[in-house]
Structure 1
Amino acid sequence: MAKARIFQRPKNAMQSGRARTDRWTLEFEPAEAKRPDPLTGWAGSGDTNEQVRLGFATAEDAIAYAEKVGLAFEVVPTPTRTLKIQTYADNFR
């Protein structure tokens, strides 16, 4: 039985805005370990579910889909955002 995790995408380090961070993602956990390809050396596996990512507007939609399809799932809570408030002059202390 496939297991999935449901999470909210974090903001990329290169992003200044919060675009597309409100969407929820359902991602399958790998069923087998990756191994290097003998010809190219690239890491890969025979698990095709690892390539599937489904996007949902809310966590409830993702949970409803997982229950409908019969997936075992884990909801990863969104980490709280902490802001480091400082002034420009603090850079030179």
Structure 2
Amino acid sequence: MTTARIYQRPKNAMQSGRARTDNWVLEFAPSEAKKADPLTGWAGSGDTRDQVRIGFPTQEAAVAYAEREGLAFTLFPAPERKLKLQAYADNFR
């Protein structure tokens, strides 16, 4: 049986924006291990589902797709956002 994981994209640590963090992603679990190519040394496998990532606007849409396609899935909830409220004047205490 094909397994997948459903998660919400985390915020990019290199940028301050939150673009595309409200989208949900479904990606397939690898069915075989990667192995080094003898000629180039690059890691690869015959499993092409590893390259597929499907985006959804909501968690419910992603779960509905997985159930409709008969995929066993693991749902990773989005981490709660913690706001660090501080004032500029706090730098000079």
Give 3-state SS (helix, strand or coil) of 2:21's partner.
Answer: coil
Deviation at 1:83, TM superposition (A): 3.0
Q: Which moved more, 1:82-91 or 1:2-11?
A: 82-91
Deviation at 1:82, TM superposition (A): 2.1
Deviation at 1:85, TM superposition (A): 3.8
TM-score, structure 1 as length reference? 0.89
Structure 1: tracts of 5 or more residues without a match: none
Q: Percent identity over the alignment? A: 72
Residue matched to 1:48: 48
Structure 1 residues 28, 88: closer, same or farther in 2, change over 3 A? same
**Poorly superposed stretches of 4+, deviation over 4 Å:** 86-93
In 2, Cα distance between the equivalents of 1:91 and 1:73? 46
Give 3-state SS (helix, strand or coil) of 1:27's partner.
Answer: strand
1:2-41 equivalence runs, <5 A: 2-41=2-41
TM-score, structure 2 as length reference? 0.89
In 1, Cα distance between the equivalents of 2:11 and 2:73? 23
Aligned residues: 93
Structure 2: tracts of 5 or more residues without a match: none
Pairwise CA RMSD: 1.7
